[in-house]
């Protein structure tokens, strides 16, 4: 119920405080998760850096050992040629050549063993790095899902499961940008549950919560996919209706009002009469959001003053 009383101001302040705390809590949670992820990424990147450094060292060692192997091979070949030139007998030549060939064979085997060890170590490091990269990709995807889920939760009202005021603040500017660009009609409607305090006082806050959820679902299930509905705070809802002229808008909101009034709400077997009032305003050339919102708010106040359970639109000329 729209009344300018200290209790309503306190309730509004409480709603705003709860919204801020909820957003702050979610932001802190996301920040903590993101910091953990960055720490994990840092560790992975350090591992990659170490891997690349080790590979560079391995390549340098391979190059050095390859040069040493070539030098040893060249020396042994020279020794064989020298033995051939200096040999005085076939037996002595055979013995010397065989010895040098054995030495060459040992060098070749040593080089092969060294290369096999290096290959196995490199392969193990590559496999380890591949596993770490796959794990990091998986963690990245998981973090994306968490962030998307957290962002979605931050934009939705926990009780009614419809968009909240934060979501409305984002959507209204998008709709205004489209309205300015294409000059298509755009209407704003503010809804307020009639005598909601009486429901809480008579049946308790659980009954009030059920009323809020019921009305939210009745409204959101009855609008077009291009329309937008959010819980604005307390027992207030706000609706954006793009592409609808004033007459069409009034017909639509009045049907919604009638649907809520005749929904036959019950709580613990008791019939509870619920109704809702609505103030509507359309965007006109030169309008600001504040002006349109103020007209809709005044229209809502007039609907309450006229007896509730009705929809009122105030034209721009009444500003």
176 in Cβ contact with 230 (< 8 Å): no
Q: Where exactly are the structural domains of the chain?
A: 20-154, 157-318
Kindly indicate the confidence band of residue 319, based on its pLDDT and cuts at 50, 70 and 90: very low
**Is 74 assigned a catalytic role?**
no
> pLDDT tens for residues 227-238?
999 999 999 999
**Candidates 3.40.50.150, 3.90.640.10, 3.30.70.270, 3.40.50.12780; CATH matching 157-318:** 3.30.70.270
Task: Give percent above pLDDT 90 in the chain.
Answer: 49
Active-site pick, 120, 235, 245, 248: 235
Place 118 in a pLDDT band, splitting at 50, 70 and 90: confident
Angle between helices 165-182 and 6-86 (to 10 degrees): 90
Q: CA–CA separation, 316 vs 319, rounded Å?
A: 6
* 20-154 CATH: 1.10.287
pLDDT tens for 28-81 read: 666 666 667 667 766 766 766 676 677 667 667 766 766 676 677 667 667 666
3-state secondary structure the chain: CCCCCHHHHHHHHHHHHHHHHHHHHHHHHHHHHHHHHHHHHHHHHHHHHHHHHHHHHHHHHHHHHHHHHHHHHHHHHHHHHHHHHHCCCHHHHHHHHHHHHHHHHHHHHHHHHHHHHHHHHHHHHHHHHHHHHHHHHHHHHHHHHHHHHHHHHHCECCCCCCECHHHHHHHHHHHHHHHHHHCCCEEEEEEEECCHHHHHHHHCHHHHHHHHHHHHHHHHCCCCCCCEEEEEECCEEEEEEECCCHHHHHHHHHHHHHHHHCCCCEECCEECCCCEEEEEEECCCCCCHHHHHHHHHHHHHHHHHCCCCCEEECCHHHC
């Amino acid at each position: 119920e729209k009344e300018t009383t200290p209790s309503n101001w306190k309730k509004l302040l409480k709603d705003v405080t709860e919204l801020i705390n909820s957003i702050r809590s979610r932001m802190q949670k996301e920040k903590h998760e993101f910091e953990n992820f960055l720490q994990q990424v840092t560790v992975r990147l350090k591992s990659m850096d170490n891997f690349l450094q080790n590979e560079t060292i391995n390549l340098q060692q391979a190059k050095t050992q390859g040069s040493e192997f070539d030098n040893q091979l060249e020396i042994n070949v020279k020794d064989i040629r020298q033995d051939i030139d200096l040999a005085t007998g076939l037996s002595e030549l055979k013995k010397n050549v065989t010895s040098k060939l054995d030495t060459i064979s040992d060098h070749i085997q040593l080089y092969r063993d060294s290369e096999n060890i290096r290959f196995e170590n490199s392969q193990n490091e590559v496999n380890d790095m591949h596993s770490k990269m796959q794990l990091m990709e998986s963690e990245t995807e998981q973090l994306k899902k968490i962030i998307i889920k957290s962002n979605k939760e931050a934009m939705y009202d926990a009780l009614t499961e419809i968009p909240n005021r934060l979501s409305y603040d984002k959507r209204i500017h998008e709709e205004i940008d489209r309205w300015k660009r294409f000059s298509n009609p755009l209407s704003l409607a503010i809804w307020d549950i009639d005598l909601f305090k009486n429901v809480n006082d008579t049946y308790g806050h659980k009954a009030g919560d059920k009323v809020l959820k019921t009305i939210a679902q009745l409204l959101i299930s009855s609008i077009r996919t291009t329309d937008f509905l959010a819980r604005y705070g307390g027992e207030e809802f706000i609706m954006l209706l793009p592409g609808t002229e004033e007459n069409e808008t009034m017909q639509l909101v009045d049907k919604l009002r009638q649907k809520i009034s005749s929904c036959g709400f019950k709580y613990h077997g008791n019939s509870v009469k619920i109704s809702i009032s609505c103030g509507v305003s359309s965007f006109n050339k030169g309008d600001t959001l504040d002006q349109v919102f103020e007209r809709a708010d005044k229209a809502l106040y007039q609907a309450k003053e006229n007896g509730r359970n009705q929809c009122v639109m105030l034209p721009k000329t009444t500003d």
